[in-house]
């Protein structure tokens, strides 16, 4: 217990220091595998599988580089990151240094309980309270039942699990019910927004969102109302993890077709693929390798790319918007505080 507390405090101190350092990126999403056992209708990943991936040692070496670069948060996603045989080892390594989130479609996490005890968030994707609708979206029968059971198991085990519905036209009118349902059980929610790739760059790193008419949000007024309702709900419901600032930005997007942020890809955040290639976001061609970051991060090439990305308005992937909005060192610290349960140990002490 003493060891755990000491290592927690060490991590809290290091997270706080990195959060407050100016000119450093905050967040990296690492898609450590392209393997996926689901067939989601709005996704390209399972259609474009690639069995090649980095070794365990290469990923650990990449994580060391990210830590030195100042990254605070790591998200492991894929495909399904838990399909990698070394998932437990990678999680253990990453969670010693980073605020670590692992994504799962609900099929794997219950079999990886011990490994997941170390992470700061396990994000389980559930898109509806209607089992048949959820299974239709995921392309796999029984996926709803499995995901709900997984959330319950993780919650019971004391693992910090969040439900992450992807908001689309198919579930737009039930997002509030989904929010009520899980938050009443003490389970927080983070939302994704259905988005698809507009092929900004013919050589984009990889494709995620597949254009699908069923999902495209046509009822913009309902989306505005949803943002308003969530902003109100958030005042009393601390299980809604999305920030008010993000909800307001989303509201402006749907109410006035106005983007109230400029994109901070390759500045506040970037993405790494299963081969270790990095890009500001997945919609652009890769800009180099994670292993070259110490040399390239402050290069002219990267600065030029940052300028291009700042003018780009080609996507509405919510996590990219989120990390574009929340980029200041103080904002980073608040985020780290909000998102990492153990950081409170240190931060609260300092506030007294
Ligand atoms: S959305 Fe995620 S779970 Fe679904 S097919 Fe794509 S990668 Fe797999
Ligand atoms: S807005 Fe930003 S995240 Fe979206 S495609 Fe453009 S550069 Fe990428």
Query: Which ligand 2 atom minimizes the distance to the CA of 282?
Result: 8
Q: Is 280 in the pocket of ligand 2 (CB under 6 A)?
A: yes
Q: Is 36 in the pocket of ligand 2 (CB under 6 A)?
A: no
Give how far the C-alpha of residue 220 lies from the chain's centroid of Cα atoms, to the nearest Å.
24
Record the pTM: 0.89
Ligand 1 atom 7, closest CA = 79
Q: Which of 17-21, 80-84, 108-112, 259-263 has the lowest mean pLDDT?
A: 17-21
Residue 310: nearest ligand to its CA? 2
Residue 270: nearest ligand to its CA? 2
Q: Where are the beta strands (DSSP E) in 13-154?
A: 27-31, 73-77, 99-104, 121-124
pLDDT tens digits, 149-163: 999 999 999 999 999
What per-residue confidence (pLDDT) applies to 347? 41
| Biggest alpha carbon–alpha carbon distance for the chain | 54
- CA angle (186, 43, 274) in 5-degree steps: 90
159 CA from centroid of ligand 2 (Å)? 32
* pLDDT band for position 336 (cuts 50, 70, 90): low
What per-residue confidence (pLDDT) applies to 3? 47
Q: Look at residue 289 and give its three-state secondary structure.
A: strand
Q: Is 319 in the pocket of ligand 2 (CB under 6 A)?
A: no
Mean pLDDT within 120-136: 96
Residue 33: nearest ligand to its CA? 1
Name the residue with higher pLDDT: 208 or 134: 134
Residue 259 has pLDDT above 50, yes or no: yes
Residue 335 has pLDDT above 70, yes or no: no
R_g of the chain computed on alpha carbons: 19
**Closest residue by Cα to residue 240 from 254, 253, 226, 252:** 226
The bridge status of strand 277-279 relative to strand 269-272 is antiparallel
What per-residue confidence (pLDDT) applies to 341? 47
pLDDT tens digits, 269-303: 999 999 999 999 988 888 999 999 999 999 999 99
pLDDT tens digits, 25-48: 989 999 999 999 999 988 888 888
Domain boundaries, the chain: 2-351
Residue 123: nearest ligand to its CA? 1
Residue 144 has pLDDT above 90, yes or no: yes
Ligand 1 atom 2, closest CA = 79
311 CA from centroid of ligand 2 (Å)? 9
Q: Which of 141-150, 197-206, 304-313 has the lowest mean pLDDT?
A: 197-206
**Ramachandran region, residue 229 (left: φ > 0; alpha: ψ -120 to 50; beta: rest):** alpha
> How large a percentage of the chain has pLDDT more than 70?
87
Residue 137 has pLDDT above 60, yes or no: yes
Q: Which fold has domain 2-351?
A: TIM Barrel (3.20.20)
273 CA from centroid of ligand 1 (Å)? 15
Query: Which ligand 1 atom minimizes the distance to the CA of 166?
Result: 1
Name the residue with higher pLDDT: 266 or 345: 266
- CA angle (114, 119, 120) in 5-degree steps: 140
d(CA 225, CA 235): 16
Pocket test for ligand 2, best of 287, 314, 321, 325 (most atoms within 8 A of CB): 314
Q: Say which residue the tokens 């100042």 belong to.
A: 70
In contact, 198 and 314? CB cutoff 8 Å: yes
d(CA 209, CA 315): 10
Ligand 2 atom 2, closest CA = 263
Query: Which ligand 2 atom minimizes the distance to the CA of 200?
Result: 5
Give me the sign of the Cα torsion angle 293, 295, 297, 302: negative
Q: What is the overall mean pLDDT for the chain?
A: 88
List for the chain the helix, strand, coil content (%; round to 5): 50, 10, 40
Q: Is 163 in the pocket of ligand 2 (CB under 6 A)?
A: no
pLDDT tens digits, 211-240: 778 899 999 999 999 999 999 999 999 999
Q: Is 281 in the pocket of ligand 2 (CB under 6 A)?
A: yes
Residue 284: nearest ligand to its CA? 2
Provide residues with CB under 6 Å of ligand 1: 36, 38-40, 43, 45-46, 78-80, 105
138 CA from centroid of ligand 1 (Å)? 8
Q: Which residues pair with 209 in a beta bridge?
A: 43
């Amino acid at each position: 217990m003493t060891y755990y507390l000491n290592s927690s405090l060490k991590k809290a101190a290091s997270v706080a220091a990195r959060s407050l350092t100016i000119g450093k990126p905050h967040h990296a999403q690492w898609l450590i595998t392209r393997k996926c056992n689901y067939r989601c209708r709005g996704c390209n990943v399972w259609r474009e599988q690639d069995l090649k991936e980095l070794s365990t040692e290469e990923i650990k070496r990449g994580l060391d580089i990210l830590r030195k670069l100042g990254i605070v948060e790591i998200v492991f996603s894929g495909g399904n990151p838990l399909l990698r045989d070394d998932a437990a080892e990678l999680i253990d390594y990453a969670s010693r240094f980073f605020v670590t989130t692992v994504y799962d479609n609900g099929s794997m996490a219950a079999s990886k309980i011990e490994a997941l005890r170390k992470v700061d968030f396990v994000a389980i994707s559930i898109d509806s309270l209607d089992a048949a609708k959820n299974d239709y979206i995921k392309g796999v029968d029984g996926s709803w039942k499995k995901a709900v059971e997984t959330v319950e198991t993780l919650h019971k085990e004391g693992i910090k699990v969040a439900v992450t519905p992807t908001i689309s036209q198919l579930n737009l009118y039930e997002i509030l019910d989904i929010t009520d349902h899980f938050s009443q059980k003490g389970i927080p929610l983070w939302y994704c927004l259905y988005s698809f790739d507009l092929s900004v760059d013919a050589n984009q790193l990889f494709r995620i969102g597949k254009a699908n008419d069923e999902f495209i949000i046509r009822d913009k007024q309902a989306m505005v109302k949803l943002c308003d309702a969530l902003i109100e709900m958030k005042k009393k419901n601390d299980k809604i993890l999305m920030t008010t600032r993000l909800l307001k930005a989303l509201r402006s997007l749907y109410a006035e077709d106005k983007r109230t942020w400029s994109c901070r890809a390759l500045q506040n955040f970037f993405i790494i693929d299963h081969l270790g290639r990095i890009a500001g976001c997945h919609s652009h061609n890769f800009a180099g390798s994670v292993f070259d970051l110490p040399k390239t991060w402050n290069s002219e090439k990267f600065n030029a790319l940052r300028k291009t990305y700042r003018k780009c308005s080609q996507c509405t992937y919510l996590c990219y918007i989120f990390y574009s909005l929340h980029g200041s060192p103080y904002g980073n610290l608040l985020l780290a505080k909000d998102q990492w349960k153990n950081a409170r140990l240190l931060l609260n002490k300092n506030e007294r």
